[in-house]
Structure 1
Amino acid sequence: MQKEFRALLKGSAAVSALASAIDWGLLPQSVALPAIALELIDNADGLTMQGPDGLWRGRVQVDCYAGTYGGAVALSEAVIDLLSGYRSGNWRLIMLVAQRSNTETRASDQPYRISVDFMTNWRKTNG
């Protein structure tokens, strides 16, 4: 799921036009901004009384970093436009569940960050 989630973002012309990097985990300090850091909050295979049903449900945090607040907002809006309500291929549904910024506690030398959380429903095979 992680590889496919990143590929979905990288495959978007609108997101790729704004983000210099999209990757899981922490971004290196030397990365050019704007950029996206992805965090897997949780991910589990659904269960029935007969065992796993193959539909993975998870939560992904997408952190949109930029040198300006407007840049972080623009990047987060491109991500939301792409992912909110997305259904295609193995993705049964991606839905926006939270959005927040850290501008009030931001140190003067840190980039701006807008975080958006998505619940994911994903099946390994499209059968």
Structure 2
Amino acid sequence: MEEALIARLLAFAGIANIVGERVWPLVRPEGTPLPALTLQVISPNRTYTQDGPSGFYGPRVQFDSWGASYEDAKLVSRQVTAAVELPAIVGGIRFDAGFLDSERDMPITDIPGGGKAYRVSQDFFVWWKPQS
């Protein structure tokens, strides 16, 4: 699912126009330009029926939008919201509407060699299942 989610974000014009190809799982590689986007699964949230796993998932995914200014980080986060809230089919995965659970401004980070990185962190429940 993570690979399909990254492909989905990269295919969304509002994100691609701002961050280009700079979307990574877990960490932003040191020295990469801003703005950028990272994501990580926080909880798997498998759903079950009386017969066992249902095959439908709703993990909590944390998206961190990075920018050289607060305005840039906020702009990326708004595009993440626009992308994740829409249903889509990517890479054999059917994404249903995602739901924003929380959003917070994070402390400013010093960039090695000078400069600052601003970050907006969002948690979404990303509902998906393999396309049938």
Scaled by the length of structure 2, the TM-score of the pair is 0.85
**Paired position in structure 2 for 1:110:** 116
1:25-45: CA deviation from partner (whole Å, max 9, x where unpaired) = 111111110000111101133
1:48-98: CA deviation from partner (whole Å, max 9, x where unpaired) = 1111110012011110001001111111111112212x2233112211111
Scaled by the length of structure 1, the TM-score of the pair is 0.89
Q: Does 1:48 align with 2:54?
A: no
Contact 2:9 2:16 in 1 (8 A): yes
Runs of 4+ in 1 over 2 A off after TM superposition: 105-110
Q: How does 1:79-118 map to 2 (within 5 A)?
A: 79-84=80-85, 86-89=86-89, 90-102=94-106, 105-107=107-109, 109-118=115-124
> Amino acid of the residue matched to residue 35 of structure 1?
A
Structure 2: stretches of 5+ with no match in the other structure = none
Structure 2 distance, partners of 1:14, 1:118, is: 18
Q: Does 1:122 align with 2:128?
A: yes
Structure 1: stretches of 5+ with no match in the other structure = none
Q: How does 1:14-25 map to 2 (within 5 A)?
A: 14-20=14-20, 21-25=22-26
